[in-house]
Amino acid sequence: MSSGPLSQKLFATAKQYIPGGVNSPVRAFRNVGGEPFFVRRAKGSRIHDVDGRVMIDYVGTWGPAILGHAPQVVLEAIHDAAKEGISFGIPNPYEVDMARTICEWVPSVEKVRMVSSGTEATMSAIRLARGYTGRDLIVKFEGCYHGHVDSLLVAAGSGALTHGNPDSAGVPRGFADLTVVLPFNDPAALEELFEKRGGEIAALIVEPYPANAGLILPKPGFLQLLRDITAKHGTVLIFDEVMTGFRLAKGGVQELEGITPDLTCMGKVIGGGLPVGAFGGRAEIMNMLAPDGPVYQAGTLSGNPVAMAAGLAQLREMDKQKGYDKLEENGQLFEEVVLETLTKKGLGYRWYRKGSMFCLFFTEREVHDLHDAKTADLAAFRKFFHYCLEHGVYFAPSQFETGFMSLAHSPDDILQTAEMAAAALASL
Ligand code: HOZ
C-alpha cells in the first residue's frame, strides 16, 4: 500500500532533516518497500494516520502499549504528576514506588537502577558485570538485539538484521573482539566456549525469548543450562527482558521459566509509553554501582517523575485487571484462528506465540535460531504485510520483529484480523 498524500509530504520533508527520514531505522519500511505512514493519533487498539486511515495495530509502539494506546489511567497519572513539575533531577517519591514495585514483581531483582531506555539498561549492565568480575569478555547470541550498544551490535537482530547490517560500522574492532557470539539453542557450542574461556567471561547476555529475529523460544533445558554454566564459571547471567518483562507475566520470563538471572534489563511496558529503562538484580552486584561502588553510571532524566508515574499507573492497572491472564486468553483465541487458517490453506508456515507476543514465520522450517529464521520467504512476507496494511491491519514492517496484542484488542478485533489475514495468505 502506498502511504497517503500527507504522509508522503511529511516524509519528503523529514528526509531533508532526519537521516533516512526516520528516528529509528526499523520505521523506514525499506525492506518491505514503500514509505512509512505518519500517525496523527493512537487510541486503544487503533492507530489513525495523518491521511485519515485507521488501522488495528499489532506493533503497540514496539511493546510498551500493553493496555492499548493512550489508556485513561496513564493519561491521568501523567497529568497529575506533570502538574507538580516535569523533571527535578533530585529524588522524588515515584522513584521509590517504582523500585519497590519492580523488586516485588521480578523474582531476581533485589535492587534496581532506573534509566531512560533499554539500550542504557543493557549498556550499564554490561559495564557493571565487567566491574564486578574484573573480566572483559562478553557472550551474546546470534539475532538477539540488546539496543545499539557498541559491544552488542555484533550479529544483532531487529533493525540491524532487517537492514542487513548486523555488525554496525563505527564499532571499534577492539570492542567487537570482546564479544563472542554463539548460536541460540546450541548447548554444545556453549559448553565448548565455557570449557575453553569460561574464566575470561564477565557476562552472558540473552533475550530469554529472543524477540528481535521474529520470536524464538528456548528448547527445554537451554535457559537452565545458561544458569548452571554461568554460575559454575563465575560469569554474570544477564536476562534482557526489555521486551518480555512485565509483558508476559509480572516477573517476565524468569518467573515463567523459574530461572534466576544475576541481572535483568527492563524497559518498554515499564514506562507506560514514556522513555524508561531499568536494570537490577542481586544486591551484591548492584552495590558495585556509583555512588556506593566504583562502577560509574548516571542520567539526567533517570527516575523522571512523569515517566515513573506513567509506568506505575500502567503496571498497577495490569495487576488490577489481571491483565496477564486476559492477554493469554486473547492470545489463545488469535492462535486458534491463525492455526486453523494455515491448516485450511495447506500452508506449513511456522507460528510461535507466548501470551500476547507472536510471530508468523514465512518458512516451513521449525525456527530454533537465527539461521532457521533467515530461511523465511521475505517476498511472501512483504506481500502479506502490504495486503494487511491496505485492509486496515498494521503488523511490524519486518519479518524479524514480534507482534504484540494489548488489553484493548477485543475478541472482535482479533476475529476481524484473522479473517483479513486469511485473505492475505490466500492472495500470496
Ligand atoms: N527495539 C525496537 C524493535 N524491536 C525498536 C524499534 C523502533 O524504535 O523503531
Residue ranges for the chain with pLDDT beneath 70 = 1, 163-164
The question of whether 394 is a catalytic residue gets the answer no
Grid cell of 403 as nine digits: 507482534
Contact 308, 98 (CB under 8 A): yes
**Across the strands, what pairs with 295?**
289
Read off the pLDDT of residues 307-349 as tens digits, 9 standing for 90 and up: 999 999 999 999 999 999 999 999 999 999 999 989 988 999 9
| 380 Cα: distance to centroid of ligand 1 (angstroms) | 22
Nearest alpha-carbon partner for 114 in 130, 101, 131: 101
Distance 22 CA to ligand 1 centre (A): 12
Domain ranges of the chain: 5-70+322-426, 72-319
Whether the CB-CB separation of 398 and 34 falls below 8 Å is answered with no
Neighbouring C-beta atoms of residue 2, cutoff 10 Å: 12
Which pLDDT value is given to residue 1? 62
Catalytic: 349? no
Select from 158, 162, 240, 266 the residue to mutate for testing ligand 1; criterion: most ligand atoms less than 8 Å from CB: 158
Q: How far is Cα 36 from Cα 124, in angstroms, rounded to an integer?
A: 32
Q: Which of 18, 23, 24 to mutate to test the pocket of ligand 1 (most atoms within 8 A of CB)?
A: 24
Q: How far apart are CA 285 and CA 283, in angstroms?
A: 5
Report the nearest-CA residue for atom 3 of ligand 1: 158
**Nearest Cα to Cα of residue 314 among 100, 77, 117, 106:** 77
Instruction: Specify the CATH number of the domain 72-319.
Output: 3.40.640.10
Q: What is the DSSP letter of 368?
A: S
Q: Which of 111, 268, 374, 383 is catalytic?
A: 268
Q: How close is the Cα of 286 to the center of ligand 1, in Å? A: 27
Quote the Cα angle for 20-174-185, to 5°: 80
Give the residue whose CA is nearest to atom 2 of ligand 1.
62
Q: How much is the pLDDT for 154?
A: 82
Pocket of ligand 1 (CB under 6 A): 24, 26-27, 62, 158, 212, 401
CA 389 vs CA 43, 64, 65, 339: distances in Å: 18, 21, 20, 21
Q: Rounded to an integer, what distance in angstroms lies between the CA atom of residue 336 and that of residue 129?
A: 42
Per-residue pLDDT, 161 = 79
Q: Are 235 and 198 in contact (CB under 8 A)?
A: yes
Please give the DSSP secondary-structure letter assigned to residue 117: S
pLDDT score at 164: 67
Query: Is the overall model pTM greater than 0.85, yes or no?
Result: yes
Active site residue 145: yes
As its CATH architecture, domain 5-70+322-426 has: Alpha-Beta Complex (3.90)
C-alpha 257/C-alpha 359 separation (Å) is 20
What's the pLDDT score for residue 158?
A: 80
Report the residue among 18, 22, 26, 242 best suited for mutation to probe ligand 1: largest number of ligand atoms under 8 A from its CB.
26
